[in-house]
Amino acid sequence: MRVIQALHGHAKLKTTARCAHVATKTIRSTVGPTPLKVISAIEA
């Protein structure tokens, strides 16, 4: 977590932890990628 804190430039670990929590929730709620067949049909 300290490495992520340093990369983001956060002074407080609490800020990094909050961002990590939000990112995890966002990733879990994201629907999988669009199948390539659908993309190909849209581009045609």
pLDDT tens track for 1-44: 788 888 889 899 888 888 887 777 776 776 666 555 555 566 55
Please give the pLDDT value at position 7. Answer: 86
16, burial (CB in 10 Å: exposed 0-12, middle 13-18, buried 19+): buried
Please give the pLDDT value at position 24. Answer: 76
Please give the pLDDT value at position 11. Answer: 93
Please give the pLDDT value at position 37. Answer: 58
**What does pTM read for this prediction?**
0.47
Domain boundaries of the chain, sorted by first residue: 2-43
Length of the chain: 44
How wide is the angle at C-alpha 40 spanned by C-alphas 39 and 44, nearest 5°?
Answer: 120
Which helix (DSSP H) or strand (DSSP E) does residue 21 occupy? helix 13-29
